[in-house]
Amino acid sequence: MESLNLSLNSFTFNTTPSIRFGNGQIKDSTDELLSLLGSRILFITDKDLTKLGLYDPMLDIFKTRSADIRIFDAVESDPSLNTLLSAVHLGQEFNATGIIGFGGGSPMDVAKLVALLVGSGENIDDAWGVAMAKGPRLPLVLVPTTAGTGSEVTPVSIITLDDGEKRGVSSSKILPDISVLDPELTMGLPRHTTAATGVDAMVHAIEAFASKSPNNNPISKMLAKEALHLIGGSIEDAVENGGLEARGNMLLGSMFAGMAFANSPVAAVHALAYPIGGTFHISHGLSNALMLPEVLKFNSIVPEASNAYSLLAPIVFPTINCDRGSQAITTEFINLLEDLSKRIGLPPRLRDVDIPQDACLQMSKDAMKQTRLLVNNPREISQKDAFDIYNAVW
């Protein structure tokens, strides 16, 4: 097996400046969070977490310290621009001094932009894209309750526009001040959510490792490999049994993958997954899981991609035979990833999630709008290529 060339080109690496990890950490960090966020805290989450009462113990402690809490729990999966603007309006009306994002990637993404837009007063249309946000933002804390998006350590927020297009803000200005990772908060995740978000984190690590971005760097590669080690060794246990150790490994792995792709950006798997979520409201994790094998097959023709994938293969699947060339290892790696998705209960085809075959053409057109992602793919993808990939997955 070939070794991967790690050139010593210049790169930048940014991540959340302060991370708190551990069981019960959400309660242990109360004083620090209140000191940062001030007395008027806008708490951004979703209605499912409100029904579960998952954040009640945290807010009860805050209220005993005289904090004024306003809850915005209208965040939906693939949050819309209207949802974002409603949260911004509430933050301005409330005169918030700090923001907490609590939940999966959607509440955390909304919280990042609310902190930016309320803190700076800038218009969202001026912030879209890479390094366009000016800031400053309000103090920001993110608390993940799923192990998948890594949003708590990424400078990216994705919002769905009225026409279904997903548009992003990518800027170090929206990295939070503190992220609190408490495995106990993930204990109640349903089997399907655990599976889909876990594969989502694996996609982040795989795409970051093989990214054609000029900022692909040794730190991201190291984190991507450790993320795959943790997730690959824990995902089936987490799905089947949901024990605390497996949950903790998944949460750490998701964070490491987030750190990796925050600096060595993701590529075509995400670009082709976005129209699935934006148009058909399939969860982001499942959308990525559906597209992963076929995009890897497409990319593997390029030696740089097959070399990268062959290095990752034994990390995820330690029993894989590595006494072969990178192409053969990569082919088995892709097959084993497909088998893993089936074992943990994820549907393998677009038809299984009620997407009609005649949607493949429009999705291929929509995917080509994701230029900030496609530029990072190891192999250039045309609209026809995207169309062929969707059809192969259908």
| CATH number, span 191-393 | 1.20.1090.10
Per residue in 340-360, pLDDT tens?
999 999 999 999 999 999 999
Nearby residues of 307 by Cβ (< 8 Å), 6 or more positions away: 2, 4, 326
- DSSP helix/strand/coil, 66: coil
Q: Tell me what pLDDT residue 2 has.
A: 44
User: Which neighbouring-strand residues pair with 102?
Assistant: 143
Domain ranges for the chain, please list them: 24-181, 191-393
Q: Is the pTM for the entire model greater than 0.85? A: yes
Q: Tell me what pLDDT residue 8 has.
A: 66
Q: Phi/psi of residue 222, each to 5°? A: -60, -45
Spans of the chain below 50 pLDDT: 1-2
Q: Tell me what pLDDT residue 1 has.
A: 45
24-181 and 191-393 agree in CATH topology: no
Measure the CA–CA gap between 13 and 382, rounded to whole angstroms: 30
Q: Tell me what pLDDT residue 197 has.
A: 95
Sheet containing 98-103, strands listed edge to edge, beginning at the edge strand earlier in sequence:
18-21, 178-181, 140-144, 98-103, 40-44, 68-72
Going by CATH, does the domain composed of 24-181 fall within 3.40.50.1970? Answer: yes
Q: Tell me what pLDDT residue 27 has.
A: 86
Nearest CA-CA partner of 384 in 352, 361, 350: 361
Per residue in 107-133, pLDDT tens?
999 999 999 999 999 999 999 998 999
Q: Tell me what pLDDT residue 66 has.
A: 84
